[in-house]
Amino acid sequence: MITIHNFSRGIRGVRVVWVCEEMGLDYRTVALEFPVPPEYRAKYPPGSVPFLEDEGGVAIGESVAQMLYLAQRYGPTPLLPSEPAVMARVLQLTVGAEASLGGMMNPLMGTKFAAPADQKVNWTNGFCEARAGEMLGYVESLLEGDYFAGDGLTLADIAVSTSLGMWQGALGLEVPPKLAAHRGRMQARPAYQKAATAFAS
């Protein structure tokens, strides 16, 4: 049985559950609060979420790695197309949604929620916001239809939509119009709606 550990309000774990829902996979969720308990750190020493366990001794952190693992182990799936050019686009945007967007947002969220008042405005914050903004512009330029790659939902749509949720929800920043419309379509999907409440306490 797939087990997904996540904070009760953690958006990165939602995208892993979303993949399970889209693929029709059985899973269970474990909701955590911050700080995580010692028994969780014993299981996953970094103490971050989400964390996925599966049969066969699988224990894996990092939400994008978990998405790719599920698509590979339980596929083939349209979420990870096999046609080379489409697959390449999906992989680029799936990884980029975390590496080039989410990774830049982590310092922004740390500054917003944890930095002392006299350090809320700093060079790193401005740099990260500008770089993430540039990446959002690039990602928006790749959206030519309803989806980022091919004619249907892929991991790229799930990954980017999640990062947009952090940009808008956690940081209160504006999402470019085409990307905002894309996120609206993603949020309307039944699989997303189930995933969004999976860790509710």
Task: Give dist(CA 2, CA 20) in Å, integer.
Answer: 9
The predicted structure's pLDDT at residue 18: 98
Residue with tokens 């091919």: 150
15 and 72 share one domain? yes
CATH of the domain at 182: 1.20.1050.10
Last residue of a domain, one of 78, 112, 137: 78
List per-residue pLDDT tens for the chain, 201 residues long: 999 999 998 899 999 999 999 999 999 999 999 899 999 999 999 999 999 999 999 999 999 999 999 999 999 999 999 999 999 999 999 999 999 999 999 999 999 998 999 998 899 999 999 999 999 999 999 998 999 999 999 999 999 999 999 999 999 999 999 999 999 999 999 999 999 999 985
Task: Give dist(CA 37, CA 27) in Å, integer.
Answer: 22
175 lies in some domain: yes
Please give the residue range of the domain that contains residue 37.
2-78
24 and 122 share one domain? no
115 and 140 share one domain? yes
Give Cβ neighbours of residue 175 (< 8 Å, ≥ 6 apart).
136, 164, 167, 168, 183
Backbone angles phi, psi at 27, to 5 degrees: -155, 165
Share of the chain residues as helix, strand and coil, in percent rounded to the nearest 5: 60, 10, 30
72 and 98 share one domain? no
Last residue of a domain, one of 48, 78, 108: 78
CATH of the domain at 27: 3.40.30.10
In which element (H, E) is residue 17 found? helix 11-23
Last residue of a domain, one of 24, 58, 78: 78
What's the distance, CA 86 to chain centroid? Answer: 20
The predicted structure's pLDDT at residue 201: 58
